[in-house]
Amino acid sequence: MKNQVELHVELDVSMADAVAALVDSGRYANQSEVIVHALRLLFSQTQPVEQWLRSEVAAAYDQMQGSPGQLLSSQQVRTHVAQLHRGGAIEPR
């Protein structure tokens, strides 16, 4: 048997109507199934981003902190991106 916890959730009328319509359509057996499916979709979208932030972004931040002289100013970044966009040669730093 699964461990389950009963929650009380308040939805605005349009969301509650949408949940009811999904159950009424026969796609879901009950309101809980709708909410569980919605949460699974949310997690499937947010977990890869969170993983990327923890691994790549945090590592880049740590590396940046160790070499602050290698950082570009926001103006340098804008100039670089503009040059890339125009297809022009990139000026060395």
Provide the pLDDT for residue 61: 85
Instruction: Check residues 56 and 89 and name the one with the higher pLDDT.
Output: 56
Domain ranges of the chain: 13-86
Q: Where are the alpha helices (DSSP H) in the chain?
A: 13-24, 31-52, 58-66, 74-86
- For the whole prediction, is pTM greater than 0.95? no
Give tens-digit pLDDT for 38-79: 999 999 999 988 888 888 888 888 888 887 777 888 898 898
In a 3-state reduction of DSSP, which class is residue 6?
coil
What pLDDT is stored for residue 39 in this prediction?
A: 96
- Looking at residue 91, its pLDDT comes to 60
